[in-house]
Structure 1
Amino acid sequence: MVSISAIITAAGKSSRMINDQKERNIPSLNKLILPIDSKGKTIIELTIENILNIEIDECIVVVSHDDCEITEALYNINDDRLKIVHNGAVTCELSESLYNGIKNSKSEFIFSIAGDQPTISAETYNNMVNKMLNSENPKKTISILRRNDIGLLKTAKGLGMPFIANREELLKYLKNQDDNLNPILRKMHRDGFTFYGIKEKDKFELLNINNHEDYQLFLEFINTKSAYF
């Protein structure tokens, strides 16, 4: 039986969102703990709930050791598969956070997900898993949410999370790296990994929540797509 761990990176400082909030004279909050409904559910909680709706063995959330508010939000999720891993340093690049999470995982395959990706559905996650598992060589295959092309990809340019890949292969490429993920994915593509771009269920699955305007678009989306969740 295939084992899958989800690693959700949630250690960023949300600088663009907080700067935008300050310019608008609204309370400054890390984007991951912004509310999405009247009950106070947060962006990070919905991101986690969506991945927990598919068959995975564990969900590891990587936080900075000073992110008390994010950690507190995770206590609202009652699922034995959820684990919290703390980075050793306050400031870490994305590759370091992901590597730290993967080191603490136990599965053969890793779903790499950003904490600010609450619009991605269980259906899309399952499509990514199935494409990888049905490939000729799952160990050397990366199934990733497309940015441009769909299907077999000729380049990894512009790609990022979410994606699913083999745990041991990811550890090799992430070790001792201090960078964003795209340069690492491009290197894996040059080294012969097969990349498949998976089509989104809805255009909002491609939304990056970086500033207040993005957040407002996201709120409009969930208010009109309540059945989606």
Structure 2
Amino acid sequence: MKGVSCIITAAGKNRRMREDLHNKGKKIEHKLLLKIKEEPILTCTVKKALKTSLNECIVVLGHFMNELYPSLEVLTDSRLKLIENPNVDVELSQTLLNGVLNAKCDYCLCLAGDQPTVTEKTMQNLINHLLNSSDPENTVTILARGKTGLLNSVNGLGMPFACHSSLLEHYLEGEEDNMNPILRKMIADGVSFYGVQGQNESELININRYDDYLNVLRLLNVKK
């Protein structure tokens, strides 16, 4: 159907954050449950996505799903849909594919659960630039990390991005990898990539390490 499905991946092993917390002598907890302004990171990410013109918001769970469910069950928006990876030991590409296969809309906005700093304005810009492009079925709009506009390279780029669901399904099928190698295949095959300017530097941070979390708090001027 016409419209946009947001797919938020929240299925990882949390290995790097657990390692950091252990080395720092801190309580071991899931990175997506660390707080920003009294709310878990995952909750913040989903709430921002739900402020855009989405038809549905799919959160894909895997490792530690039972720990993450309570942070999502407090959200009552009818567009929110929680699904699980049949096999938790898969790479990001298969988690994203699981979301795509469960999406009901023609277009997908893809976002990682550890990206709570991506603003709803940037998410909406990704959607708008895609839908208004000359060839939306063969275009990927992606948060720029440097050059904006039409791109000739996607090195270093990843989520968030938006594209047609059939494009994702084609390139994710059978892949067991992170997103950048797959994006490189897409651009090599002639898929158009358009870099969308972000709102601030914090949007470029994925919270993988404890220092990433502290950096986000600093940039958002939030006390721990």
Tell me which interval the TM-score lies in, with the shorter structure as reference length. Answer: over 0.9
Distance 1:10 1:166 in 2: 21
In the TM superposition, residue 65 of structure 1 has moved relative to its aligned partner by: 6.1
- Equivalent residue, structure 1, for 2:44: 46
Q: Distance in 1 between matches of 2:176 and 2:216?
A: 30
Q: Which residue of structure 2 aligns with residue 141 of structure 1?
A: 139
- Could you tell me how far apart the structure 1 residues matched to 2:104 and 2:197 are? 28
What is the TM-score normalised by the length of structure 1? 0.93
Cα deviation for residue 36 of structure 1 reads 1.6
Distance 2:203 2:182 in 1: 23
Cα offsets for 1:76-110 (capped at 9, x unmatched) = 11111111110011211000000001101100000
Query: Which letter maps to 1:162?
Result: P
Query: Could you tell me which residue of structure 2 aligns to residue 76 of structure 1?
Result: 74
Paired residue for 2:6?
A: 6
Cα displacement (A) at 1:13: 1.0
Aligned to 1:112, what secondary structure does the other structure show? strand
- Counterpart in 1 of 2:174? 176
* 1:142 and 1:193 in contact (8 A); partners too: yes
Give 1:149 shift.
1.1
How many Å separate the matches in 2 of 1:14 and 1:173? Answer: 25
**Which residue of the partner structure matches residue 158 of structure 2?**
160
Displacement of 1:47 after TM fit?
A: 0.4
Deviation of the 1:148 alpha carbon = 2.2
| Displacement after TM superposition at 1:169 (Å) | 1.3
* Correspondence list, 1:1-229, <5 A: 2-38=2-38, 41-64=39-62, 66-223=64-221
Q: Map Cα deviations across residues 127-167 of structure 1 (whole Å, 9 max, x no partner).
A: 11121122110000000001221111011111100000000
Match of 1:227 in 2: none
CA distance in 1, matches of 2:107, 2:157: 19
Gaps spanning 5+ residues in structure 1: where? 225-229
The Cα RMSD (Å) is: 1.5
Q: Deviations over 1:18-69 (max 9, x none)?
A: 100100000111111111234xx10000000111000101000000164201
Question: Retained in 1: the 8 A contact 2:11–2:64?
Answer: no
TM-score for both structures, normalised by structure 2: 0.95
Q: AA paired with 1:173?
A: Y
Mapped partners of 1:144, 1:101: distance in 2: 18
Q: Which segments of 5 or more consecutive residues in structure 2 lack a partner in the other structure?
A: none
CA distance in 2, matches of 1:114, 1:75: 18
Which stretch has the larger CA shift, 62-71 or 149-158? 62-71
Q: Is the 8 A contact 1:66 1:90 kept in 2?
A: no
SS of 2:195 mapped into structure 1 = strand
